Amino acid sequence: MTKIILDLDTGIDDTLALTYALASPELDVIGVTGTYGNVLIETGTRNDLAILELFGHSDVPVFTGEPHASTKDSFEVLDISAFIHGKNGIGEAEIPDPKGSVQEQSAVDFLIDSVNTYGDDLVIVATGPMTNLAAAIAKDPSFAEKARIVIMGGALTVPGNVSPWAEANINQDPDAANALFRSGANVTMIGLDVTLQTLLTVKETAKWRELGTVGGDFLAEATDYYIKAYETTAPHLGGCGLHDPLAVAVAVDPSLVTCLDINMKVDCEGETRGRTIGDEEKLNDPKKSMKVAVGVDVERFLHELMERITRLAADTPARES
Ligand code: BDR
Ligand code: CA
């Protein structure tokens, strides 16, 4: 079993990432670290705790991370984030308030301690802004050398989704993402290049509703909200992008994607701020620290997602009639 920490801004597709991880026998979820992004950090960690309890995993600890970008002193949810994920981050679906609360230790310290304890046996999957990871690198110079990281973020061969250049997670804190990319850390980038090829429709969410369980109802309601938002923002796709769960799926099985070995950077100045692109200064460096996914086995991933998450949702209490 591989130990995994999920760094989430929960978020509807973050919810699917978390449930995919919980449903994967190959993974031991040792913690969730919260970040801001789709929602305020307090909303995100509330969702993490509530979802963990709903799916019978209240033993997984949740840690609070940095509340805003590394170059800012506050954070406000963007209108587009609230439109796509709902004001509460989970498509206005209502699930019971969590009984548990966040840990005292900070997310950054938990990330550092875990990497020092477990080394290669641990994978960190980050599906929000890269602020917590950059803070861990700044605090512990050995973090970048030791950590194995998969991120959902960026776009190499396709345009961004918040601007022609920038993808949403990178856009929240381009400086943090640049610090991560240029740190030499072992990072696999799961960007829009592949996540926008993996789509879910109401045909699949109907299967979760048919289970007649509280977990199935919750996932169907939240994901239908997300699918509806995509009908407005990206009608040409015909479904919602499975961004964050694909990153978890790749942590389980890297053969789901084909990758380009490359050294990357993030533009931090000018109109291309937030663009993820090859680092020209390291073009001739024979050592490539990053892998960028450029191809994905869509059918196999969708099969794994439906199989795993449906099994997890089936195992929650029956809905009250
Ligand atoms: C990413 O941005 C967020 O809105 C999603 O949760 C995902 O992590 C997609 O660009
Ligand atoms: Ca996310």
What is the CATH classification number for the domain harbouring 31? Answer: 3.90.245.10
Catalytic, out of 13, 140, 243, 297? 243
User: Helix-strand-coil percent breakdown of the chain, rounded to 5?
Assistant: 45, 20, 40
- Locate the ligand 1 atom nearest the alpha carbon of residue 244 and give its number: 8
Helices 12-22, 41-54: axis angle to 10 degrees equals: 40
Domain membership flag for residue 321: no
**282 Rama class: left (phi>0) / alpha (psi -120 to 50) / beta:** alpha
Q: How far is CA 92 from the centre of its chain?
A: 20
Which residue range is the domain that position 224 belongs to? 2-314
To the query of whether residue 68 is one of the catalytic residues in this protein, the response is no
Domain membership flag for residue 20: yes
CA distance to 44, 133, 271, per residue, from 65 (Å) = 10, 10, 29
Question: Is the shortest distance between the CB of 173 and ligand 1 below 6 Å?
Answer: no
Domain membership flag for residue 285: yes
Question: Is the shortest distance between the CB of 204 and ligand 1 below 6 Å?
Answer: no
How far apart are the CA of 293 and the centre of ligand 1, in A?
Answer: 16
Question: Is the shortest distance between the CB of 125 and ligand 1 below 6 Å?
Answer: no
For the chain, the C-alpha Rg in angstroms (whole number) is 18
CA distance 53 to 59: 8
Question: Is the shortest distance between the CB of 17 and ligand 1 below 6 Å?
Answer: no
Domain membership flag for residue 320: no
Scan for tokens 């079993």, then name that residue: 1
To the query of whether residue 236 is one of the catalytic residues in this protein, the response is no
How far apart are the CA of 226 and the centre of ligand 2, in A?
Answer: 12
**Does the global pTM surpass 0.85?**
yes
- Locate the ligand 1 atom nearest the alpha carbon of residue 9 and give its number: 6
CA distance to 21, 47, 91, 276, 310, per residue, from 263 (Å) = 28, 35, 37, 11, 37
Can you give the pLDDT at residue 75? Answer: 98
Ligand nearest to the CA of 195: 1
- Amino acid (one-letter) located at 85: H
Ligand nearest to the CA of 192: 1
Spell out the residues 6+ positions from residue 278 whose beta carbon is closer than 8 angstroms to its own. Answer: 156, 262, 263, 264, 265
Domain membership flag for residue 319: no
Contact 193, 111 (CB under 8 A): no
Can you give the pLDDT at residue 321? Answer: 79
What is the tally of structural domains in the chain? 1
- Locate the ligand 1 atom nearest the alpha carbon of residue 81 and give its number: 4
- Amino acid (one-letter) located at 42: E
Probe ligand 1: pick from 80, 125, 152, max atoms within 8 Å of CB?
152
Catalytic, out of 9, 217, 244, 297? 9
Question: Is the shortest distance between the CB of 13 and ligand 1 below 6 Å?
Answer: yes
- CB atoms inside a 10 Å sphere around CB 57: 16
- Token pair in block for residue 134: 């950059």
Domain membership flag for residue 51: yes
Domain membership flag for residue 238: yes
How far apart are the CA of 169 and the centre of ligand 1, in A?
Answer: 6
Domain membership flag for residue 291: yes
pLDDT along the chain (321 residues), means of 10: 98 98 98 98 98 98 98 97 97 97 98 97 98 98 97 98 97 98 98 98 98 98 98 94 98 98 98 98 97 98 98 96 79
